[in-house]
């Protein structure tokens, strides 16, 4: 087995290496910087959900078009859908629907908090929540086991037959992987690159399922991947059918990272109230570093915008009424007193 790496490679480069050299390619670093489209999307979601924000640092992209995102958020859920559009558009632009290119979204990802945590491994209905959320998972009682298939890298998949559909299933740690299609030869061809990918890169370290459904007689595929940590179910999908789709979508899962506050633009902090020096200050607007005067102190705020803030005098104003807060992410905010304690 190759040593797995969490260390920068684009999805297209990853796919090229896997298909060109098979299991012999060396694992390349995964980028830690988010695509600007994802930063826009996460900034639109921030403040509208109580879930911690996570996203992939790798995104699929076709040779033409521009990546554009649409978002949705609830207190217990958020979702981002990424399209290729004919022109560059800001997140949630009203013309995305009419400007998107054919072939389905190139990425959809998000998370949802369920009412119950995942049962312990081996318990009845262990994978039920993941299977119910995954639109491509084909497993079920109406399958007949037909032996095993050697996929290389010490992986032997169990072959199942369900009506006219062939399913190959195997395990990777706590993960269940399934490739389903009409032909055993096509299913093997799609499964082998996934084996190579997972031989070199780690999926999120929680129980999950990775479902690949062959299309167009087995020439292309779509993929849906989801995993669960406690009550939070996270997922990535890619509905743009292609021969490399299973590996491209897997690249999103292995690049799943926490979106930290400094990554996001500061607009969602406006209106927040911080305490300092026996008073409450409301952040009213972004500020320029040129507006800061002498340093007055610092404060740690715990809550939706938890972090370290440095307090400065605002030039030309009385600090008893107005100050400037600097976040640990390097953003400056004007703030005015809203309440003073005795």
Q: Domain map of the chain by residue range? A: 11-124+192-260, 265-340
- At residue 320 the predicted structure's pLDDT band, cuts being 50, 70 and 90, is confident
- At residue 1 the predicted structure's pLDDT band, cuts being 50, 70 and 90, is very low
- At residue 2 the predicted structure's pLDDT band, cuts being 50, 70 and 90, is very low
Q: pLDDT averaged over the chain?
A: 84
Q: How far apart are CA 253 and CA 109, in angstroms?
A: 9
If you ran DSSP here, which 8-state letter would residue 216 be given? G
Confidence check: pLDDT of 169 > 80: yes
- At residue 21 the predicted structure's pLDDT band, cuts being 50, 70 and 90, is very low
Average pLDDT over residues 271-286: 86
Cα angle, residue 222 at apex, residues 218 and 224 outer, rounded to 5°: 135
H or E segment to which residue 184 belongs: helix 184-200
Residue range 265-340 forms a domain whose CATH class is mainly beta
φ/ψ (deg, to 5) at 89 = -135, 150
Could you tell me the pTM of the whole model? Answer: 0.73
Write out pLDDT tens, residues 150-163.
999 899 999 999 88
Residue 117, C-beta contacts closer than 8 angstroms, at least 6 positions apart: 230, 231
Q: What pLDDT score does 221 carry?
A: 96
Q: How far apart are CA 28 and CA 143, in angstroms?
A: 38
Confidence check: pLDDT of 107 > 70: yes
Nearest of 294, 337, 339, 341 to residue 314 by alpha carbon: 294
Q: What pLDDT score does 247 carry?
A: 94
Q: What pLDDT score does 294 carry?
A: 92
CB 214 within 8 Å of CB 185: no
Tell me the torsion sign for CA atoms 171, 31, 47, 326. Answer: positive
Average pLDDT over residues 278-306: 80
Q: What pLDDT score does 25 carry?
A: 45
* Total Cβ atoms within 10 A of residue 14: 25
Confidence check: pLDDT of 27 > 80: no
Nearest of 337, 336, 333, 335 to residue 265 by alpha carbon: 333
């Amino acid at each position: 087995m190759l040593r797995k790496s969490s260390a920068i490679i684009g999805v297209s480069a990853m796919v090229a290496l896997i298909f060109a050299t098979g299991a012999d390619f060396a694992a390349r670093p995964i980028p830690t910087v988010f695509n600007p489209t994802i930063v826009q999307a996460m900034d639109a979601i921030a403040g509208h959900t109580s879930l911690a924000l996570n996203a992939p640092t790798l995104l699929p992209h076709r040779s033409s078009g521009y990546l554009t995102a649409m978002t949705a958020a609830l207190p217990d859920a958020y979702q981002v859908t990424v399209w290729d559009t004919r022109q560059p558009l800001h997140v949630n632009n009203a013309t995305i629907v009419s400007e998107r290119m054919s072939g389905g979204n190139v990425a959809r990802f998000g998370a949802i908090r369920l009412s119950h945590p995942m049962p312990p491994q081996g318990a009845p209905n262990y994978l039920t929540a993941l299977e119910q959320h995954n639109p491509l998972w084909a497993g079920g009682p109406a399958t007949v086991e037909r032996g095993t298939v050697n996929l290389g890298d010490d992986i032997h998949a169990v072959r199942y037959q369900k009506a006219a559909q062939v399913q190959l299933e195997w395990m990777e740690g706590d993960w269940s992987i399934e490739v389903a299609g009409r032909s055993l030869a096509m299913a093997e061809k799609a499964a082998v690159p996934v084996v190579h990918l997972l031989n070199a890169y780690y999926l999120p370290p929680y129980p999950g399922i990775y479902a690949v459904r062959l299309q167009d007689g087995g020439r292309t595929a779509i993929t849906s991947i989801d995993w669960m940590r406690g009550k939070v179910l996270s997922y990535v999908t890619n509905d743009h059918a292609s021969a490399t789709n299973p590996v491209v979508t897997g690249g999103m899962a292995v690049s799943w990272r926490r979106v930290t506050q400094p990554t996001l633009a500061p607009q969602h902090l406006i209106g927040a109230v911080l305490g300092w020096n026996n008073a409450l200050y409301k952040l009213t607007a972004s500020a320029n570093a040129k507006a800061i005067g002498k340093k007055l102190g610092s404060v740690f705020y715990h809550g939706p915008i938890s972090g370290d803030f440095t307090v400065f005098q605002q030039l030309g104003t009385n600090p008893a009424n107005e100050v400037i807060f600097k976040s640990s992410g390097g953003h400056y905010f004007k703030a005015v007193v809203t309440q003073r304690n005795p």
